[in-house]
Amino acid sequence: MHPKVDALLSRFPRITLIPWETPIQYLPRISRELGVDVYVKRDDLTGLGIGGNKIRKLEFLLGDALSRGCDTVITIGAVHSNHAFVTALAAKKLGLGAVLILRGEEVLKGNYLLDKLMGIETRIYEADNSWELMKVAEEVAEELKGEGKKPYIIPPGGASPVGTLGYIRGVGELYTQVKKLGLRIDTVVDAVGSGGTYAGLLLGSAIVNAEWSVVGIDVSSATEKAKERVKNLVEKTKELLGINVKVQEPRIYDYGFGAYGKIVKEVAKLIKSVGTMEGLLLDPVYTGKAFYGLMDLAKKGDLGESVLFIHTGGLPGIFHYGEEMLELL
Ligand SMILES: Cc1ncc(COP(=O)(O)O)c(CNC2(C(=O)O)CC2)c1O
């Protein structure tokens, strides 16, 4: 771990949910095809349940919940939400209750099937985006308080200053690994949903004074909103940390193909080719679109000679949308 990051984060409650460092993997065939060195930080292997990027945030969010004596976690997402499932699973692992506030059609596939298999309480609502359901989360919290419980609300994607600490710590781990391996990384690339991961990568990279640039791939085709959310998160997290470091402007590109969750042929084909070329599985909602953007930008020469992709997980998305993807191939 990075001493400066460690010192900065040591005063915040954190529960260890990731018992190891996730590996960095080189992709020889993709690199040869692109003429750019492509590495992957395997944060799909964070280990709890389906793994993924959210576990890093949950170490601080659930650490905070426990330090406040909370006993029930409430969070929000789409029915296929990776974040919602792993949040509830981690809560249960820690002996906490969990209520998921989900939006969209109940389909017993992927993460929603996992929600049910694990006996997680889910409540389904109609909403165009997860943030609209924060009001419902507050109502559910009041209901639980009425039952004598101590609820803890986690916003969509864990996109709060406390959640953002997760990827500041993640950058500390990544930077130390890159130095130890003697790698030179020009650009780090990650998918942008709620913006918490990207905000943590930006702020963490500034704290360790990393040489690389950080690029976000917007998977929802709502890039200006994503930039605003990221900027706001960076500023609020700097306040939480009591620091005033200069952070690069968010560099976010739209590869949402028109809408969040839209399953498209280009991405389905890319998932197949990356899977068969490198044995690496991407998902159609987040990492498949993000990797598509990485390859497109790399071909244009926009990412330098050496790129590192943060694989943020999302495997259940293949099982939620697999039949739709198959029809496109
Ligand atoms: C596999 C995967 N990769 C990247 C992201 C984007 O992360 P951020 O939300 O931190 O921007 C998600 C998010 N998922 C959300 C969810 O509800 O699952 C928060 C949207 C993700 O699941």
256-265 pLDDT, tens per residue? 999 999 999 9
Number of helices (H) and strands (E), helices first, in the chain?
12, 10
Ligand 1 pocket check for 49: Cβ under 6 Å: no
According to DSSP, the β-strands at 37-41 and 24-26 are antiparallel
Q: What is the mean pLDDT of residues 296-318?
A: 98
Please write the tens of the pLDDT for every residue from 50-64.
Answer: 999 999 999 999 999
| Ligand 1 atom, smallest distance to 287 CA | 3
pLDDT value at 230 more than 80: yes
What's the pTM? 0.97
Ligand 1 pocket check for 52: Cβ under 6 Å: yes
Report yes or no for ipTM above 0.95. yes
- Which whole-number Å values give the CA distances from 114 to 14, 67, 263, 282, in the listed order? 26, 28, 21, 19
- Which residue puts its alpha carbon closest to atom 19 of ligand 1? 157
pLDDT the model gives residue 329: 95
Ligand 1 pocket check for 193: Cβ under 6 Å: yes
pLDDT value at 238 more than 80: yes
CB-CB contact of 43 with 315 (8 Å): no
Please write the tens of the pLDDT for every residue from 306-315.
Answer: 999 999 999 9
Amino acid at 49: G
To the query of whether residue 67 is one of the catalytic residues in this protein, the response is no
pLDDT value at 134 more than 80: yes
The pair of structure tokens assigned to 87 is 């949040």
pLDDT the model gives residue 1: 77
Backbone φ and ψ for 254, nearest 5 degrees, come out as -85, 110
Ligand 1 pocket check for 205: Cβ under 6 Å: no
pLDDT value at 272 more than 80: yes
Nearest to 57 by CA among 163, 207, 161: 163
Residue to probe by mutation, ligand 1, list 56, 82, 87, 228, most atoms within 8 Å of CB: 82
Please write the tens of the pLDDT for every residue from 5-59.
Answer: 999 999 999 999 999 999 999 999 999 999 999 999 999 999 999 999 999 999 9
The pair of structure tokens assigned to 246 is 């200069």
Q: What is the mean pLDDT of residues 138-158?
A: 98
**Residue 175: CB partners within 8 Å, gap ≥ 6?**
2, 204, 205, 208, 210
Of the listed 81, 130, 160, 194, which one is catalytic? 81
Ligand 1 pocket check for 317: Cβ under 6 Å: no
